[in-house]
Each structure stands twice: as C-alpha cells, then as structure tokens.
C-alpha cells in the first residue's frame, strides 16, 4: 500500500506531525534513521518520503544519521520515489556555508561571514576581518542555535577558545559572523510548506540563541540588558512579512529544491534585512499557534504539512 514515510532521528519531535497525519486518517510510517539495512538493488516501498533529518542529530548521539540519510535519499531518488526535502534540502541543512551561497545566488542578503577551519585560526580571522567589533561564533553544522555564541571582546573569545566550555564543530568548520544589532531583541522565522509562505513567527532572543520552537532554551553571554524592550512571549505568530522578501524566499526555495523550511532573518538597526539560517527540519510552537487560533487546523504548521503530504500521496495514486 502506498503511504507517507517520515524519515527522522528524533522521536521527541515526531508527535505533532504524527497527530496531524492521524487526524486526517492518512496512512504513514516512520523510518528512524540511526541504523538499518537497505538493499540498494531492491525497490523501496511505494509512497511519499518526507525527510526530517536535522543538522543537530549528532547532539543526540546520532553522529552519522545525516550521512545515512544522504545515502537513503540517493537510493530513493534512484528509484524515482517522491521525496519531500530531498538530497538538495539535506545538503543545505547540514551546511550554513552552502545555505549562504544559495541564498546570495538567489539575491537574498546574508550577514558578513568568514569561514574558519581550525580553532587556532579563529582569533586571527577575527583580528583580520572584525577588528574591535563584537562577533558571533557558530558552527557550520549546528541546529537549534546550538553552539552559537556572542563575544563582545577578543579577550572573551580567547577565553572561550582555550577554556573547558569550548565546543568543537562536528565538521571542524567555524563561522565568524558580524553581530547584527537590532532595534529589539527579536528575529523572525518565516515558515514555508510546499515552497509557499504559511506564516511567520517573531522570536524573542533576549535569553540567547537556542531558538528551536519545539524546545526553546537559553545559553551564555547574550542575555537581554536590563530595561530592554522585550516581547511578551518567546514565540509570537505574525500574519505576514514584506512581500518582496516573501517572493524572493519562495523563489530561493524553488531553485534550491527545498519543499518545507523555516527561514530565519533579522532586521538590523541600520535597516538591513539579513537571512542567517534555513531550517529544512522545521518544528512549530504549539502554544504560539494556539494563541493565534491556528492549532489543530490546516493553518497550523503540522496541519498544513500533513495536508501537503496527503495531497502529494493522492497525486501519486492518481498518476498510477
């Protein structure tokens, strides 16, 4: 029987989409891609395959899940299966450098960024490219905002690099990025399903950079200063974004081969709008959707995603 296959490695993120699929009585199964045996000479099952592999999989002791998923997606593609967020999407998910290259090629501005290979090269990179300025240090392959740190001084950065809290990027690649000053401690995440805009979420960053809607938490030295005008909620749904930016992001997703994504951007105090992250394994904040009157409907993230996958499955059946 043709069905929806959900490829993932984190059971904690599965329930919302599982509930939405079940609510619509759609046949589906999960593929937990931490291990397994795959006969490459045999045809995969029929149906629609939805890739939910995350760049942060290595933080859950699934170090090679992304590599396994890349191999499985190659197998599925070779057999002509319908894959939502296929190989091109996974390629962007696990590399911010490739994200920025694709965004810039599509005319979408990104923050000034320097790629650094090796811990010993980070300070020289900062001195050469951002002398005397605060910088963001982040891994090329991250996810959830993990490992993203703000440093106001070279001494603070040096102490981190030499101290016990230092986190080596899983792929060995650091990014040193300009610190974008915003009028308010807020970033915006625009959600797209089927390469079309669904809604956007304003996210309060005053407690740090770990911004996954499914399990927000805070880190180190990016705390909101006393007296800062901070939002009432960590996640707040807004109905729209600038139409020009929306159109450019939709075109970017089409050209990049990404079906489902959360695209994060920030407005600087000098008027720039900069995209800094593309999440192809997107999660949705249930409490924010409840406040916006979207929970449990086709206007929610899980609901819209389930309906998109259901339509793709129905299309396969019609074609057959």
| All structural domains of the chain with their residue ranges | 3-92+301-319, 113-178, 181-291
What angle is formed at CA 140 by the lines to CA 134 and CA 142, rounded to 5 degrees? 100
CA distance 243 to 256: 20
Class of domain 113-178: alpha beta
* pLDDT digits 0-9 by tens, 116-159: 999 999 999 999 999 999 999 999 998 666 788 999 999 999 99
CATH of domain 3-92+301-319: 3.40.50.20
Tens-place pLDDT, residues 236-246: 999 899 999 99
**Strand order through the sheet with 135-139:** 113-117, 173-178, 135-139, 149-151
The string of pLDDT tens digits covering residues 4-52 is 999 999 999 999 999 999 999 999 999 999 999 999 999 999 999 999 9
pLDDT at 52: 96
Q: Which CATH number is correct for 181-291, 3.30.470.20, 3.10.350.10, 3.40.190.170, 3.40.50.300?
A: 3.30.470.20
Least confident of 91-95, 170-174, 259-263, 316-320: 316-320
Distances in Å between the Cα of 114 and the Cα atoms of 107, 123, 142, 157 are 19, 12, 16, 15
pTM equals 0.90
């Amino acid at each position: 029987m043709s069905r929806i296959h959900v490829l993932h490695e984190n059971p904690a993120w599965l329930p919302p989409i599982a509930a939405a699929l079940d609510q619509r009585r759609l046949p589906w199964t999960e593929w937990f891609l931490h291990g397994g045996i795959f006969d490459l000479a045999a045809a995969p099952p029929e149906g629609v395959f939805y890739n939910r592999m995350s760049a942060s999989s290595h933080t859950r002791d699934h170090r090679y899940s992304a590599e396994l998923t890349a191999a499985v997606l190659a197998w599925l593609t070779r057999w002509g299966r319908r894959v939502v967020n296929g190989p091109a999407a996974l390629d962007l998910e696990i590399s911010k450098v490739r994200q920025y290259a694709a965004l810039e090629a599509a005319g979408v501005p990104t923050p000034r960024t320097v790629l650094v290979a090796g811990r010993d090269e980070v300070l020289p990179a900062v001195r050469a490219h951002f002398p005397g300025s605060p910088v963001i240090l982040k891994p090329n392959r991250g996810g959830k905002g993990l490992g993203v740190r703000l440093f106001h001084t070279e001494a603070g950065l040096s102490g981190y690099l030499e101290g016990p809290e230092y986190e080596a990027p899983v792929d060995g690649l650091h990014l040193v990025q300009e610190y974008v000053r915003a009028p308010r401690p807020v970033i915006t995440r625009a959600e797209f399903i089927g390469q079309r805009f669904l809604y956007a979420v304003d996210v309060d960053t005053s407690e740090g950079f770990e911004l996954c809607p499914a399990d927000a938490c805070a880190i180190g030295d990016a705390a909101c200063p006393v007296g800062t005008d901070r939002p009432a909620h960590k996640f707040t749904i807004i109905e729209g974004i600038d139409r020009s930016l929306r159109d450019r992001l939709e075109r970017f997703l089409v050209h990049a081969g990404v079906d489902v994504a959360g695209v994060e951007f920030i407005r600087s105090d000098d008027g720039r709008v900069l995209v800094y992250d593309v999440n192809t394994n997107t999660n949705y904040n249930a409490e924010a959707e409840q406040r916006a009157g979207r929970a449990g409907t086709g206007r929610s993230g899980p609901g819209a995603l389930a309906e998109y996958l259901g339509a793709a499955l129905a299309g396969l059946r019609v074609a057959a």
